[in-house]
Structure 1
Amino acid sequence: MNAFTRNAITRVLLVFLLWPGSIRAAGMVPETPVLVLDEGLGEAGINVFNSEPHPALLHTSVEDVPQDTEPLLLLTPPVARVEPGATQRVRFILRSAEPLKTERLKRLVFEGIAPQDSTGKAQVSLSVRQNIPAILRPARLPVDREPWKHLVWSRQGTEVKVRNPSPYVVRLGHSVMLLPGGKEMDLGRTYVLPGEQLTLSGMAEPSHLPLQVRLFPVTTYGFAIAHFDAPLVTD
Structure 2
Amino acid sequence: MKAIFPRALLLAAFTLPFCQNALAGVVVNGTRVIYPAQAREVTVQVDNVGESPALVQAWIDSGDANQTADTSDAPFVLTPPIARVEPGRSQALRLIFSGAQLPTDHESVFWLNVLDVPPSPDNADSGDQNYLQVAFRSRLKLFYRPQGLKGVANDAPAALRWTRTGDRLRVENPSPFHVTLAEVHAVTGSSEKTVEDKGAMVAPKQSLEFTAPAGSDQVRFITINDYGGRVEHKVRLGSTGG
Paired residues of 2:43 and 2:94 also in contact (CA < 8 A): yes
- Measured after TM superposition, the shift of residue 194 of structure 1 is 0.3
Deviation at 1:162, TM superposition (A): 0.8
Encode CA deviations 1:70-101: one digit per residue, 9 max, x unaligned: 73332111111112211111111223324532
Which ranges of structure 1 fall in alignment gaps of 5 or more residues?
A: 1-11, 13-24
Aligned-pair CA distance for 1:228: 0.7
Residue 187 of structure 1: how far off its partner (Å): 7.6
Counterpart-to-counterpart distance in 2, 1:72 and 1:101: 18
Contact 2:74–2:110 (8 Å) recurs in 1: no
Which residue type is aligned with residue 75 of structure 2?
A: L
Counterpart mapping for 1:203-214 below 5 A: 203-205=212-214, 208=215, 210-214=216-220
Spell out the pairing of 1:144-159 with structure 2 (5 A cutoff): 144-159=153-168
Find the aligned partners of 1:114 and 1:188 in 2 and give their Cα distance: 28
Structure 2, unaligned stretches of length 5 or more?
1-9, 11-22, 65-71
Selected match of 1:163 from 160, 164, 172: 172
Whether 1:116 aligns to 2:120 is yes
Q: Is the 8 A contact 2:183 2:198 kept in 1?
A: yes
- Identity within the alignment, %: 25
Deviations 1:36-78 (A, max 9, x none): 1111114211111112222221111223336xx9733321111
Matches within 5 A, 1:1-235: 26-65=24-63, 71-95=74-98, 96-98=100-102, 100-119=104-123, 120=126, 122=129, 123-141=131-149, 142-180=151-189, 181-186=191-196, 189-200=199-210, 202-205=211-214, 208=215, 210-225=216-231, 227-233=232-238
Report deviation, 1:232.
1.1
Give the whole-Å Cα distance in 1 for the aligned partners of 2:220 and 2:38. Answer: 35
CA distance in structure 1 between the aligned counterparts of 2:31 and 2:160, rounded to whole angstroms = 23
SS for the counterpart of 2:157 is helix
Number of aligned residue pairs: 204
Tell me if the contact between 1:185 and 1:203 (Cα under 8 Å) persists in the aligned partners: yes
Match of 1:7? Answer: none
What do you get for the CA RMSD once the two structures are aligned?
Answer: 2.6
C-alpha distance in structure 2 between counterparts of 1:154 and 1:70, whole Å: 37
AA in 1 matched with 2:107: E
Q: Are 2:173 and 2:207, in contact at CA under 8 Å, matched by a contact in 1?
A: yes
Q: Give 1:176 deviation, angstroms.
A: 2.4
Letter in 2 for 1:218: I
Q: Flag the 1:100–1:71 CA change in 2: closer, same or farther, 3 A.
A: farther
TM-score of the pair, normalised by structure 2: 0.74
Q: Distance in 1 between matches of 2:187 and 2:56?
A: 44
Query: Shift in Å at residue 168 of structure 1?
Result: 0.8
TM-score normalised by the chain length of structure 1: 0.76
Distance 2:197 2:29 in 1: 29
Q: Is the 8 A contact 2:182 2:198 kept in 1?
A: no
Shift in Å, 1:29: 0.8
SS in 2 for 1:148: helix
Show CA shifts across 1:142-195 (max 9, x none).
Answer: 533232111111122332211111001111224322343424323874211101
- Which whole-Å deviations, capped at 9, do the CAs of 1:88-119 have from their partners, x for residues lacking one? 11111223324532112222121121233343
